[in-house]
A and B are shown apart, each in its own frame.
Chain A
Amino acid sequence: AQKVTQAQTEISVVEKEDVTLDCVYETRDTTYYLFWYKQPPSGELVFLIRRNSFDEQNEISGRYSWNFQKSTSSFNFTITASQVVDSAVYFCALSEVISKLIFGQGTTLQVKP
């Protein structure tokens, strides 16, 4: 069965601190896709990144970086030099081919000025 676990329910940091959001997944398929979404206070889910199971290269986009490790079934998300605008709920999600998204419970990130 598919499952996504985001063990951190809430994280609070001070602006400019680095923060890592953890995501652990379970699947029996060899082909699958991992995603991160951001849900700011406005409520709309914003796509951040997609990774397929065959691509373990880490990715960096500005202050955001993602670390995908199949050996530990983890897909962690790091924000460097956090800003107040990063405050949001972040969801990790998993899908198999021709399937729906299975979401983790989300991590609420609060960045204080």
Chain B
Amino acid sequence: GAGVSQSPSNKVTEKGKDVELRCDPISGHTALYWYRQSLGQGLEFLIYFQGNSAPDKSGLPSDRFSAERTGGSVSTLTIQRTQQEDSAVYLCASSDGLAGSYEQYFGPGTRLTVT
């Protein structure tokens, strides 16, 4: 079956512009996560969605970051007024069952470069 897919695979944007990153989780997975991987910070949690519950946004680094998950499936991570420190690989993952209890399957990531 299909794994987690993310688009675009690469995104170059100018400082100050907004970007949207998309994630298609594995069909039927109820939990969806966003992480960020950068050289200086390793793998950082950003946000997760579990079914119809309110998302856990505790990892979002600033109010310029937001995410939504429509219809319990596709998710979009939006970064407004991008800054150079936002440059990183943004990873999406999904899992079946209670968030945290089951293995997460990761997508290939979106490499964001802010110039």
Which residue numbers of A lie inside 8 Å of B, CB to CB?
33, 35, 37, 43-47, 50, 52, 91, 95-106
Contact = CB atoms under 8 A, between A and B. Distances in A.
Given A44-B108, A45-B91, A103 B100 contact: no
Interface residues of B, number: 24
A88 to B, nearest CB: 14
A29 to B, nearest CB: 10
A98 B99 contact: yes
Interface majority SS (helix, strand, loop, mixed), chain B: strand
Interface of B: 33, 35, 42-43, 45, 48, 50, 56, 59, 89, 91, 93, 98-109
Nearest to B47: A100
Contact of B98 (A43, A44, A45, A97): A97
Contacts of A45: 91, 93, 106
A50 B102 contact: yes
B42 A101 contact: no
A45 B106 CA distance: 6
